[in-house]
Amino acid sequence: MQTWSNELGQPLGKPLPDWQNPPFPIATTLEGYGCRMEPLDVAKHSNALWEAFSEDIEGRVWTYLSVGPFANKAGHDGWLRTLASKSDPQPYAIVDAATGLAAGIATYLRIAPETASIEVGWLTFSPRMQKTKLATAAMFLLMRNAFKLGYRRYEWKCNSLNAPSHRAAERLGFTFEGIFRQAAINKGRSRDTTWLSIIDSEWPLLEVAFEQWLQADNFDAAGRQRSSLSALTSAALAQRAT
């Protein structure tokens, strides 16, 4: 691995002589692979989202989030209006292109052009989209857009007790970085936060892995995957390390 140092022999980071801040992302529809990421519009999306989230009878979707579950649609819509009123977080409704209905939410947040870092969060997937091709396509579209804009670091953070979220991130190609202890208080409980990331040098190989997995011929007539995404992203990251 190449290293850099100054005239005193002190180690330094890689020089970035042509560095320019990437632009702040413009909220626009992203689409592909049966998914549309539409900028959240309460009037347009709230009914479908409320119906989709209502399928979660036990409230499991909300356990590790700082909001919800909501007792009524008014509370749900109030939360959506709060999200939609901000540029950061920048929320998107995850729309199934086949039905035209929103089934979940994802956002960009902690958007920092000055360090070229951006996070994906507020992942609120209704039961109908959990562990589906739609969910993976949604993550791919946001990720691809961020790196296309010139971001160098794409972050995923989750409650350290939320093992399914950690596994989902690693399946998508995120690398575990560590745990921030007592990082927050969530619904009256202490929260340690797990940090994971993908960096721009890893993205070209991961992009190929996603595109391979999302192809129609990767699924049989019953919709079962032929190659798993975790195997493809693990192979991509192993290739990066060689």
Note the pLDDT of residue 104.
98
Residue 1 in this model has a pLDDT that exceeds 80 = no
The hierarchical CATH code for the domain 23-241 is 3.40.630.30
Query: Tens of pLDDT along 170-194?
Result: 999 999 999 999 999 999 999 999 9
**pTM score:** 0.95
C-alpha neighbours within 13 Å on the C-beta side of residue 125: 19
Do residues 129 and 135 make contact, with C-beta atoms less than 8 angstroms apart? yes
Domain extent listing, the chain: 23-241
pLDDT at site 2 = 85
| Cβ count within 10 A of residue 72 | 9
Residue 102 has pLDDT above 80, yes or no: yes
pLDDT at residue 242, as a whole number: 52
Name the strands in the sheet holding 30-32, side by side, starting at the edge strand that comes first in the sequence. 30-32, 35-39, 90-96, 101-112, 117-125, 153-159, 189-199, 175-186
Q: Does the pLDDT of residue 241 top 90, yes or no?
A: no
> Quick check: 214 pLDDT over 80?
yes
Backbone conformation region of residue 215, classed left if phi is above 0, alpha if psi is from -120 to 50, else beta: beta
Displacement of CA 104 from its chain's centroid (Å): 12
| Helix-, strand-, coil-residue percentages of the chain, each rounded to 5 | 35, 30, 35
C-beta of residue 195 within 8 angstroms of C-beta of residue 184: no
